[in-house]
Every structure is written in structure tokens, then in C-alpha cells.
Amino acid sequence: MTWIEALDAGLRLVLVWHNFLFLALGVVVGVAFAAVPGLSGILAVTLLLPFTFYMTPVAAVALLMGAYKGTMFGGSISAITFGVPGDAPAAATKLDGFELTKQRKPYRALTTALYSSISANLVADLVTILTFLPLAAVALAFGPREIFALLFAAMAVLVIFTQSGVLKGIIGTMVGFLLATIGLDRIAAYPRMTFGIVELEAGIGLIPCIVGLFAFTELMLHFSRGFVEAQKSAVAESEGLELIRHRSPDDRLSIKEWLGFWRENLIGYASGVILGILPGPGATMSAFTSYAFGSRLAKNKGKYGTGVAEGVASAESGNSATVGPTLIPLFAFGIPGSGTAGLFMAAFMLQGITPGPGLYRDYPDVMFAVFIIMLVGTVFNLVISKGLIPIFARLGLVNPRILVPALIPMVIVGVYAVSYRWADVVLVVLIGLLGIALRRFRIPIASTVVAFMIGSLFEMHLRRGLIIADSWTYWFSSPIAVGLYVAAIVGATLLLRQRHS
């Protein structure tokens, strides 16, 4: 199938009314969840994941992609309106956004955040589309040793970039690998660490593990702590919501003014694309990196943090530019570079599609449909978010002790609906308790999820290589594999030296 035929087939898959309905629904859910302080954007994608089991692949991607894009902007709403970031990346947006609210200009900050987020989304989408095919062509030439070397490099980068420290990153990764080994050995068909429990012989499923670590853990922690006192006082004292309801005439931002922030936005685009492709850094690091560089190179040097729209543009563009690039390693090599990319991997696998080198070769129509959805989803995000900002802003006042009990049944129903196994529901609770323990000791859950998802792949290619290899030199006889090992070691060394300097 030529690319023109694949594009035509992809358009036919997308141009169905319910795909656009799911895309719009995903955007609304994503923005709404991220706008509530404490409910992370990844929670929205996690809760929606089990329900994609009964959808077509395109509809499933539309729902999750809409939620993913919506969360990128949603977190900035409460950060700007109340001074309480809806999620971690929005903490950088708060630095200038909330100061603008104190100056009685919340709409100026929100409009800047929205336009920068949308433009960064669009740039990231185009980068993803243009780089996927060349990388996929290279990936088709990979054998067991090259894939093993790539996975080794990816995990090394993921561990080094862990904000909690290298040791805790290693622990989180090892926990993920340990969970991945439970069940029947894929080669010898011998049960491992099942402790005689028949239900564990099939291994731990993707949905119970991801929902347990992300959704159940997040909801339980959120319910237990409620609103912290600092958040209460910030919301109570903020006039942001009232200023949004009764907008002043001078609280506005024109397109021409926003285009004047081109320098800050370009820095954010570059930061988001580069750090988005790498496993580990994520949107939070990209947002603060973009903000730091923007403060050094902007015209308003020294004014960042005092309430300038350029600061909002720097943070939000860096945050949102990671959306597409974080999926590039997943689409091209089958390696999820972040927790959210892992959720998309799970969604594809629920549909019987394995992400990786053969994705374009085997499902070219679906891949072009995904690319079209990414572009259309950016437009939906702009229209829906701009029109519903006053409503989304009110969500910052929702008490988590009311919201969380309403979401727990969704988790249980969603997990049970996929497999009709109560054992999976029990696994969600047990893995959720494990997730609470990991969070208690500041061990990164994202490292655990990524390691769990690639653990079986890592083991499979290692053992295949050991069967094929006639000596240890097999692992270093490929220039690609050697290059990946060297890049991982050099990169890790430089990053460690920079961290300790």
C-alpha cells in the first residue's frame, strides 16, 4: 500500500461521526481533570483506558488523544486562576500566570497559555508525523541485539532523568521488571513467582497494573489528604474566578500580541520536542527548562515571575510540545518513553495491535488515521477550551472527598469490563497499595510502569540473542548496538556530572 492509499484509507477510518464525538469527549475530560488541583492529567487517560476495549482502534485513540491534549492546557487553568497548579507541569505556568491574575488580568494569562499550548501541540504533531516513517524504516533492520541495546539505552536515560534520584529510579525500574516476570515463562512455559495461585499464571495484565499504579494510587492519596491548607487559603483568597465571571475591558490578548512572543514559543517548541523524545524528562522538566531559557533570552529580562505573559508562553509551550514526541519511540520502536505513552501502548495492545517497527508496515491506514486525529484534536482542544474556560475554572473548587468516591466505581467497572475477572479487580487494589508505598518513599511510578511494559520485551530479546549468539562478541558486533551502548554510557555520565556539579 502506497502512502497515498494509506492516507485515503486513514481518512475513511477517521471520517465517522462517533470518532469526533469521542475526540471532543476526551478533550473535555482531559481539561476537566487537569483543572482540578491534585488530579493529574494522566489519571484522566488511565480512567478512560479500560473503556477503549470495546471501541475500534481509531475511536480508542481519538478518546485518549483528546484527553491527553486536553490535560496539557487544563492544568494551567487552576494555576492561573487560583495559584494552585492542576498538575506538575503547570507549576511553571503559575509563576507568571497567577501574578497576572493578581494584576486583574486572568484572561490575558489564560489566553496566552491556550494559544501557546495549541501552537506547541501543532508543532509537536508535525514533528511526530515527519519523523515517524524514517525511524520506522530504520527500526525494521533491528534484530535482538539492536533492540536489546536500544532498550538498555532507553532505561538508562529514564533512570538518570528521574527527579527523585538515580537510586530511586533504579528501584522503581527493578519493581517494574519484577512485576513483568510474574506468570508463565514465555519460552519454557514454567510458572514464575505465582506462589501456587492459578490466577497469576497468566501474568499481571496491562490494565490492572496501569490502573492500579496510576488511578487507584492517585485517587486514594488524593482522598486521604483532601485539600491541603495552603490550597484552601489560595483558593479562598483568589479573586480569579470572580474576575473571569466579570471580565474587565483591558483583560485581553490579541493574536498580534501573542505573535510577539515568538522567541519564547520557539524556545518552548525546541525544549518540548527534544526532551519529549527522550525517555524520562517529561512535560514538567520541559516546562521549567523552557521557562529558564526564556527568562535569559527574552526582551523582558529580569521580569519573569512578576506577571508577564511571556513567562506563561515559555512554560506552556515547553509543556505542550512534548505531546507528540513522547509517542515517537512508541510508534517507531515499541518503547514507551513515559507513563502516558505506556497508556497508549496498552490501548493499542487491547486492540490487538503491537506498537513498534512493524506498525506502519502492518497497519498503515491506522497510523495515518492516528496522525489525522492528532491534528484534528489540536483544533478541538482550541475550540472547546476557549469556549469553556469559565466552566473549567469552577472545577478548582470541587472537594476531592466528593469527587474521589464517584471515580472509584469507574475504576472497578472499567477493569472488570475488560476481562470479567474479579481477580483483576483484586490486583488493582494490591498494586494500588504498592503504588502508595512507592509514592511514600518517592520512588517514581512512571519508571515502574515503563519497566513493566518493556520488561517482557527486554527479556525476550535478551534470551533470543543468547540462543543465537555463539559468543559474547555477538552483542557488540553490530555498529548500531555499539553506538547505542556508547550513547547511553556517555549520556549517562554527562548527565550525572551535571547533576552533581
What is the reported pLDDT for 147?
A: 81
pLDDT at 279 over 70: no
* Nearest to 30, CA basis, from 64, 67, 62: 67
When pLDDT is cut at 50, 70 and 90, the band that residue 235 belongs to is: very low
Residue scoring higher pLDDT (244 or 124): 124
* Nearest to 226, CA basis, from 213, 239, 235: 235
Q: What is d(CA 255, CA 375) in angstroms, rounded to the nearest whole number?
A: 21
What is the reported pLDDT for 228?
A: 46
pLDDT at 131 over 70: yes
What is the reported pLDDT for 162?
A: 67
> C-alpha grid cell for residue 246?
466579570
* C-beta of residue 322 within 8 angstroms of C-beta of residue 276: yes
Beta strands in 111-181 (DSSP E): none
CA dihedral 239, 243, 246, 251 (to 10 degrees): 160
* Nearest to 458, CA basis, from 153, 79, 42, 207: 153
pLDDT at 240 over 70: no
Point out the least confidently predicted range of 118-122, 265-269, 364-368, 386-390. 386-390
Q: Is the dihedral of CA 142, 146, 149, 153 positive or negative?
A: negative
* C-beta of residue 262 within 8 angstroms of C-beta of residue 289: no
What is the reported pLDDT for 232?
A: 45
Express each pLDDT in 332-354 by its tens digit: 877 776 778 888 888 888 888 88
Classify 202 as helix, strand or coil: coil
Express each pLDDT in 171-194 by its tens digit: 888 898 888 888 877 666 678 887
What is the reported pLDDT for 496?
A: 67
Average pLDDT over residues 259-268: 87
What is the reported pLDDT for 231?
A: 47
When pLDDT is cut at 50, 70 and 90, the band that residue 233 belongs to is: very low
* Nearest to 450, CA basis, from 255, 218, 234, 161: 161
Kindly list the distances between the CA atom of residue 208 and the CA atoms of 49, 305, 392, 432, in Å, as whole numbers in the listed order.
11, 42, 30, 9
Express each pLDDT in 379-427 by its tens digit: 999 999 888 877 777 776 666 667 777 778 877 887 877 777 888 888 8
10 Å CB burial of residue 326 (0-12, 13-18, 19+) is buried
Express each pLDDT in 310-321 by its tens digit: 888 888 998 888
Say which DSSP state 140 is in.
Answer: T
pLDDT at 273 over 60: yes
Express each pLDDT in 430-474 by its tens digit: 998 998 898 888 888 878 888 887 787 788 778 888 888 777 788
What is the reported pLDDT for 234?
A: 45
pLDDT at 23 over 90: yes
Average pLDDT of the chain, as a whole number: 80
pLDDT at 309 over 70: yes
Query: Other C-beta atoms within 10 Å of 129: how many?
Result: 18
Highest mean pLDDT among 205-214, 233-242, 292-301, 410-419: 205-214
Q: Angle at the Cα of 359 (from 358 to 363), degrees rounded to 5?
A: 115
Kindly list the distances between the CA atom of residue 42 and the CA atoms of 45, 101, 219, 403, in Å, as whole numbers in the listed order.
5, 27, 12, 16
Q: What is d(CA 60, CA 71) in angstroms, rounded to the nearest whole number?
A: 17
What is the reported pLDDT for 229?
A: 40
Express each pLDDT in 39-74 by its tens digit: 667 778 888 888 888 888 899 999 999 999 988 888
When pLDDT is cut at 50, 70 and 90, the band that residue 227 belongs to is: very low
Q: What count of residues does the chain have?
A: 501
Query: Other C-beta atoms within 10 Å of 358: how many?
Result: 14
Highest mean pLDDT among 236-245, 297-306, 484-493: 484-493
